[in-house]
Amino acid sequence: MSRITVENVTRRYGDVRAVDGVSLDVAHGDFLVLLGPSGCGKSTLLRMIAGLVPPSDGRVLVDGRDVTETPARDRDLAMVFQSYALYPHLTVARNIGFPLRTRRQRRAEISARVAEVADILDLGKLLDRRPRELSGGQRQRVALGRALVRDPGAFLMDEPLSNLDAQLRTATRTEITELHHRLGRTFVYVTHDQVEAMTMATSVAVLNHGRLEQVGTPTEVYDTPASAFVAGFLGSPPMNLLDAEVVARDGRLHAVAAGVDVPLGLGDPGQQGEPGKQGEPGEQVRRPAVLGIRPEHLSLRPAASDGAAPEATLRGTVRTIENLGSEEIAHCRVGAAEVAVRARRPAGFTVGEAVVLTVRPEHTHLFDRESGRRLVWRPDRDAPIPAARVPVAT
Amino acid sequence: MTLATEPSVTEPAPPEGADGADTGAPSIGGAPMTNFDAPETPGGRSRTRVVVGHLTLAVLGLACIFPIYWLYATSLRRPNDVYEVNPLPWPLSVDSYRTAIDEIDVLRLLLNTTVVAVLTALGQLLTSLLAAYAFAAWNFPLKRLLYLAFVGSWLVPFQVAMLPNYVLLHQLGLLNTLSGVIVPNIVSGLGVLLLRQHLDGFPKELLEAARMDGRSSWSTLWTVVVPNLRAALAALGILLLVNAWNEYFWPALVLQRHNDVLQLGIRSFMSSTEGDDWGPLTATAGLACLPIFVIYLVLQRHVVSGFVRSGLR
Ligand SMILES: Nc1ncnc2c1ncn2[C@@H]1O[C@H](COP(=O)(O)OP(=O)(O)OP(=O)(O)O)[C@@H](O)[C@H]1O
Ligand SMILES: [Mg+2]
C-alpha cells in the first residue's frame, strides 16, 4: 500500500549531478519504469527512494509521509538488486527468510512463509542449495523471493533481468508483470531496456543526465515524445531525427531540408483541421527545428512513379538493408542525413536504388533545435512554440 | 530411395548409397586420436623444466626445514651427545625434556604463553574487524588520515614505541603482569590493513541488501560480513597468533626477571658463565614450537585458502 512521491530530488557526487531536480509521483499499484541510458542516474534515484543514498536536496515521501531521514529498514520497501545480492553463506531457504528473521518472527511462521513464497516462485526443490549452486535464473527468483517474503508496500528493482539470457528474460518479464497484477503493489523498476519499459510499465519515466525528460504511459512516451532525446531513445531503430526548417506554404507548415519536404500535422487535429486559418499568420515563418519520423511510419514509393506525388516528401538512396525476418530495415541517405525505414518484408528495397519516402502529416514530430523539447502548434501564436516542460506525472 | 537429407554429424550418410559415399561425411571416430602422440619435443623440454623446478623447490624446502629438524634432533640426543653432528640422533633420549620440565615449570609457562597469544590475537582480530568494517562501509571525515595513522602504526618500528609504552605500563602498574604484555598489543595495524583490503572487495550490494532486509550495521557485521569473511579471518587470526606466540622482546621487557612465558623460559638455560645448556634449551624451544605446528596442521586448509582466494566469488 504505498504511494511514492519524489519531490525535486537531487544527488550530487562532487561536481557530478547524478540526479538533478527530479519530481515524480508513483500512485499506489503503479508499475513505474525508470528508463534511460547508462549513467543517467536511474540507480541513484532508486537508491534514494530505498533510503540507501541520502539525497543532497529534495524530499522522498511514502504514502504522504516524509521519509527522507528515515532509515531504509523503516520504509517498508523491498529491493531486488542487479547482482541479486544473495547471501553466499546461506541456503536458499535462509536467504528468503532472512528479512523475517530480522523481524524476530517465530520460526514456524517463518518457514511457513518461506514455503509459500518458494511455491509461488517454483523454488521448492532448491531450498537447501547455496546461491553458488544455482543458475542465473534461479538466483534471480531467490532474490525476488527475498523481496516477496516481507510483503512490502512497494518493490524496487534495479535491472533485475539484465543478467539473464534473452529467452529467460522474456519469460521472467511476463512473470514479474503477473506478479504485479496479483499483488497489486507499487513497483519501481529500473532498466535501460526499452522493451521491458514498454511491455511492463503502467508509466515510464525517461531520464537523461540525471534530469527527467518525460513521464507518461508507454503509449504516450512512444507516440508523443516530449523531447528529441526521448524520441531518439525509444524504438528500434529509434525515431529518425533530421535538422530541418519550418516554413509556411500553401496554407500549411512544411519541414524543409535537402531532399526533405514534409507537410506537418502539428498538435491537435481539431485546431489544425482548417489549413486556411493556420497558414495566414505564418507566411514568413522560417524556424529551425528538428523533424522526427518513426521508421515504421515511412513508406516507400519508387522514385520512377513519383511524378504525381502530391505530398512529395523524402528523397534519397538506399544504402543498406537489414533483414529481421518478418520485417526489414532500409537505411537510406536523405540529403546529409541517415534515415531508417522499417517495413514488412518484402518491402521492395534495392541497395543503391533512389527512393521516395512518404509520411502522413499526423506521424511527424517537431522538436526545438536548441532545447530538444517537442514543438506544438498554438493557433494564437505566429510560430510553433515549445511544449510546456514535462509536467509532473499524476 | 527416399529424399536424401544433408549429411549430419549425428547420423552419417549410409555408406551403401552412392551419393552418400561421395560427400564423405567426416569420420569422427579415428581422426582426433592421431593427434595425441604428436607434440613430442615440447613435452620433453617441459619435463626437464619441471624436474629442475622441483629440485630447486626441494632444496629450498630442505634449507627451511633443516634448522627445525636439527633443533628436535639435538633435543632428543643424550645430554652428553648434544655436540654430536651425526644427523640421526641415536640413541634417543628424553633426558633433556626431563631436565627442562624439572628446572622450569613448562606447563605453567605453556599455559601463560597460550593465554597471552590467544588473547592478543583475538583482541587484534576483533579490533581489526571493527576498524576495517568502518573504513570499508562508511565515509566519514578524516577517513584517509585515520587510515594512514593505522598504517603508520604498523610501519613505526617497535623500538620507537617501546619506551613510551614501557613508561605508560609502569604508571599503570602493569609491569610484570600478563595484562601488561597483552593490552598494548590489542590493536594491529597490519590486521586493519589486511582486513580492509578484503572488505573493500566485499560486494557493497550485500551490505545494502542487509540494510533493506532490516539489519542494523552491527547485526550486518555478524550475520553477513563475518560468515563470508571466515577464510580471511582464519588466515589473519593464525598470522596474528603466530606473531603473538613468537613474541620475545616485548614480554622480556614487561615481565623483566619473571620467566612467565615459554619464550623467556628458554632464557634460563642460557648462561654466560657456564655456557648454554643446549639439551634443555632445544627441548623447551621444541615444545614452544609444537602448538603452532598443531594449529597449522588443523587449520591448514583455511590458511591456504585465505591467502589464495582473494574475494568471495
Ligand atoms: N558513489 C558514487 N560516487 C561517485 N559518483 C557516482 C556514485 N554513484 C553514482 N555515481 C555517478 O552518478 C551517475 C549516475 O549513476 P547511476 O549508477 O545512477 O547510473 P545508472 O543510470 O544506474 O547507470 P547504469 O544503467 O549503468 O546502471 C554516474 O555518472 C555515476 O558515475
Ligand atoms: Mg544502475
Residue B257 confidence (pLDDT): 65
Distance from CA of B112 to the nearest CA of A (A): 36
Give dist(CA A191, CA A169) in Å, integer: 12
> Is pLDDT at B151 greater than 70 in this prediction?
yes
Residue of chain A nearest B311, judged by CA positions: A88
Residue B313 confidence (pLDDT): 32
> Is pLDDT at A220 greater than 50 in this prediction?
yes
Residues A249 and A359 in one domain: yes
Residues A122 and A27 in one domain: yes
Over residues A298-327, the pLDDT tens digits come to 988 765 554 544 555 888 999 999 999 999
Spatial contact of A18 and A26, defined as CB atoms under 8 Å apart: no
End-to-end CA distance of chain B: 58
Over residues B278-298, the pLDDT tens digits come to 888 888 888 888 888 888 788
Instruction: For residue A192, name the pLDDT band (cuts at 50, 70, 90).
Output: very high
Q: Give residue A255's identity as a one-letter amino acid code.
A: A
3-state secondary structure chain B: CCCCCCCCCCCCCCCCCHHHHHHCCCCCCCHHHHHCCCCCHHHHHHHHHHHHHHHHHHHHHHHHHHHHHHHHHHHCCCHHHCCCCCCCCCCCCCHHHHHHHHHCCHHHHHHHHHHHHHHHHHHHHHHHHHHHHHHHHCCCCCHHHHHHHHHHHHHCCHHHHHHHHHHHHHHHCCCCCHHHHHHHHCCCHHHHHHHHHHHHCCCHHHHHHHHHCCCCHHHHHHHHHHHHCHHHHHHHHHHHHHHHHHCCHHHHHHHCCCCCCHHHHHHHHCCCCCCCCHHHHHHHHHHHHHHHHHHHHHHHHHHHHHHHCCCCC
Residue A336 located in a structural domain: yes
Residue A378 confidence (pLDDT): 62
Residue B177 confidence (pLDDT): 85
Report for A209-213, A260-264, A334-338, B7-11: range of highest mean pLDDT: A209-213
Model-level pTM? 0.79
**Average pLDDT estimate for A193-216:** 95
Q: Which three cell numbers stand for residue B297?
A: 596442521
Over residues B10-21, the pLDDT tens digits come to 444 444 434 433
A11, A17, A40: residue to mutate for ligand 1 pocket, most atoms within 8 A of CB: A40
Q: Which three cell numbers stand for residue B139?
A: 565515509
CB atoms within 10 A of CB B233: 21
For ligand 2, the distance from its centroid to the CA atom of residue A215, given in whole angstroms, is 19
Spatial contact of A313 and A359, defined as CB atoms under 8 Å apart: yes
Which residues in B241-272 are b (16+ Cβ under 10 Å) and which e? bbbbbebeebbbbbbeeebbbbbbbbeebeee
Residues A220 and A244 in one domain: no
Over residues B85-115, the pLDDT tens digits come to 777 888 888 888 888 888 887 788 888 888 8
**What whole-number percentage of chain A has pLDDT above 90?**
68
CATH of the domain at A253: 2.40.50.140
CB pairs under 8 A between A and B: 56
Residue B144 confidence (pLDDT): 93
Over residues B195-242, the pLDDT tens digits come to 998 899 899 999 999 999 999 999 999 999 999 988 888 888 888 888
**Average pLDDT estimate for A16-37:** 95
Residues A267 and A193 in one domain: no
Give dist(CA A320, CA A357) in Å, integer: 15
Residues A211 and A93 in one domain: yes
Mean pLDDT for all residues in chain A: 86
Give dist(CA B206, CA B220) in Å, integer: 9
Of A205, A233, A261, which marks where a domain is finished?
Answer: A233
Residue B13 confidence (pLDDT): 41
Residue A304 located in a structural domain: yes
The answer to whether B212 contacts A52, with C-beta atoms less than 8 Å apart, is: yes
CATH of the domain at A215: 3.40.50.300
Tell me if the domain spanning B105-310 has CATH number 3.20.20.140. no
Residues A202 and A247 in one domain: no
Domain range list for chain B: 105-310
**Average pLDDT estimate for B60-65:** 93
Of A201, A233, A265, which marks where a domain is finished?
Answer: A233
> Is pLDDT at B61 greater than 90 in this prediction?
yes
Residues A116 and A223 in one domain: yes
Strand order across the beta sheet in which A4-13 lies: A16-26, A4-13, A57-62, A65-66
Residues A229 and A249 in one domain: no
Number of folded domains in chain A?
2
Give dist(CA A48, CA B253) in Å, integer: 55
Residues A154 and A8 in one domain: yes
Over residues A357-374, the pLDDT tens digits come to 988 888 999 999 999 999
Chain A residues in contact with B211 by the CB 8 A cut-off are 51-52, 71-73
> Is pLDDT at B9 greater than 60 in this prediction?
no
A70 in reach of chain B (CB within 8 A): no
Over residues B242-275, the pLDDT tens digits come to 888 888 778 878 887 666 777 777 777 876 666 6
Of A212, A233, A254, which marks where a domain is finished?
Answer: A233
Residue A125 located in a structural domain: yes
**What whole-number percentage of chain B has pLDDT above 70?**
80
**Is residue A192 within 6 Å of ligand 1 at its C-beta?**
yes
Residue A181 located in a structural domain: yes
Residue B16 confidence (pLDDT): 42
Residue A385 located in a structural domain: no
**Domain containing residue A258:** 240-367
Residues A251 and A291 in one domain: yes
> Is pLDDT at A239 greater than 60 in this prediction?
yes
Residue A57 located in a structural domain: yes
Question: What is the ipTM, given to two decimal places?
Answer: 0.82
Over residues A101-117, the pLDDT tens digits come to 887 788 999 999 999 99
Which of B211, B213, B224 is nearest residue A52 as measured by Cβ atoms?
B211
Distance from CA of A112 to the nearest CA of B (A): 18
**Average pLDDT estimate for A54-77:** 94
**Is residue A40 within 6 Å of ligand 1 at its C-beta?**
yes
Between B43 and A252, residue with greater pLDDT: A252
Chain A residues in contact with B215 by the CB 8 A cut-off are 73, 102
Residue A127 confidence (pLDDT): 94
**Pairing verdict, β A260-263 and A252-257:** antiparallel
Residue of chain A nearest B212, judged by CA positions: A73
Q: Which three cell numbers stand for residue A151?
A: 510483503
Residue A41 located in a structural domain: yes
Residues A295 and A206 in one domain: no
Residues A283 and A330 in one domain: yes
